[in-house]
Structure 1
Amino acid sequence: MSSIRFEQNLSLKEKPDASKLEFGRTFTDHMFLLDYTEGQGWHDPRIVPYGPFTLDPAAMVFHYGQAIFEGLKAFRTKEGKVMLFRPNKNAQRLNVSNERLSIPALDEDAFVEYVKALVEVEQDWVPSTEGTSLYIRPYIFATEPCLGVRASKQYLFAIILSPVGAYYKEGIHPVKINVESEYVRAVRGGTGFAKTAGNYASSIKAQEEAKEGGYAQVLWLDGKEHKYIEEVGSMNMFFKIGGEVVTPELNGSILAGITRDSVLHLLKTWGVPVSERKISIEEIYTASLEGKLEEAFGTGTAAVISPVGQLHWNEHTMVINDGKIGELAQKIYDTITGIQNGTVPDTFGWNVTIGE
Structure 2
Amino acid sequence: MEERTIQVDLCSTKKEKPKSDQLQFGKVFTDHMFIMDYSDPLGWHDARIVPYQPITIDPSAMIFHYGQSVFEGLKAYLSPEGEAQLFRPEKNMQRLNRSNDRLCIPPIDEEFALQAIKELVALERDWIPASEGTSLYIRPFVISTEPYIGVAPSRHYKFIIILSPVGAYYAEGINPVKIAVENHYVRTVKGGTGEAKTGGNYAASLKAQEMVANTGYAQVLWLDGVEKKYIEEVGSMNVFFKINGEVVTPALNGSILEGVTRNSVIQLLKHWNIPVAERRVSMEEIYQAGKDGLLEEAFGTGTAAVISPIGQLTWNDEHLYVNDGNTGTVAKRLYDTLTGIQYGKEKDPFGWIEQVEEVSRVK
TM-score normalised by L of structure 1: 0.99
Which of 324, 342, 345 aligns to 1:343? It is 345
Equivalent residue number for residue 189 of structure 1: 191
SS in structure 2 opposite 1:355? helix
Equivalent residue number for residue 179 of structure 2: 177
SS in structure 1 opposite 2:50? strand
Which of 271, 291, 304 aligns to 2:306? It is 304
Which of 79, 97, 104 aligns to 1:77? It is 79
* Structure 1, unpaired ranges of 5+: none
Equivalent residue number for residue 126 of structure 1: 128
Deviation of the 1:15 alpha carbon: 1.2
In structure 2, distance between residues paired with 1:316 and 1:246: 22
Equivalent residue number for residue 24 of structure 2: 22
Equivalent residue number for residue 86 of structure 1: 88
Deviation of the 1:2 alpha carbon: 7.6
SS in structure 2 opposite 1:84? strand
Equivalent residue number for residue 354 of structure 2: 352
Equivalent residue number for residue 8 of structure 1: 10
Q: How does 1:132-171 map to 2 (within 5 A)?
A: 132-171=134-173
In structure 2, distance between residues paired with 1:111 and 1:302: 21
Q: How does 1:99-118 map to 2 (within 5 A)?
A: 99-118=101-120
Equivalent residue number for residue 245 of structure 2: 243
* Structure 2, unpaired ranges of 5+: 359-363
1:40 aligns with 2:48: no
SS in structure 1 opposite 2:90? helix
1:281 aligns with 2:288: no
The amino acid across from 1:288 in the alignment is G
In structure 2, distance between residues paired with 1:111 and 1:228: 36
In structure 2, distance between residues paired with 1:293 and 1:2: 51
The amino acid across from 1:212 in the alignment is N
SS in structure 2 opposite 1:137? strand
Equivalent residue number for residue 361 of structure 2: none
Which of 231, 241, 262 aligns to 1:229? It is 231
Deviation of the 1:228 alpha carbon: 0.2
1:151-180, CA deviations, whole angstroms, 9 ceiling, x for partnerless residues?
000000000000000001111110000000
In structure 1, distance between residues paired with 2:260 and 2:335: 14
Q: Is the 8 A contact 2:4 2:112 kept in 1?
A: no
Which of 53, 56, 70 aligns to 2:55? It is 53
Deviation of the 1:213 alpha carbon: 1.3
SS in structure 2 opposite 1:299? strand
In structure 2, distance between residues paired with 1:80 and 1:318: 44
The amino acid across from 1:218 in the alignment is V
Deviation of the 1:17 alpha carbon: 0.2
In structure 2, distance between residues paired with 1:211 and 1:234: 14
Deviation of the 1:52 alpha carbon: 0.5
In structure 2, distance between residues paired with 1:175 and 1:41: 46
Q: How does 1:196-235 map to 2 (within 5 A)?
A: 196-235=198-237
In structure 2, distance between residues paired with 1:63 and 1:302: 29
Equivalent residue number for residue 64 of structure 2: 62
The amino acid across from 1:265 in the alignment is Q
In structure 1, distance between residues paired with 2:199 and 2:184: 21
In structure 2, distance between residues paired with 1:2 and 1:205: 43
Paired-residue identity, %:
62
Deviation of the 1:50 alpha carbon: 0.4
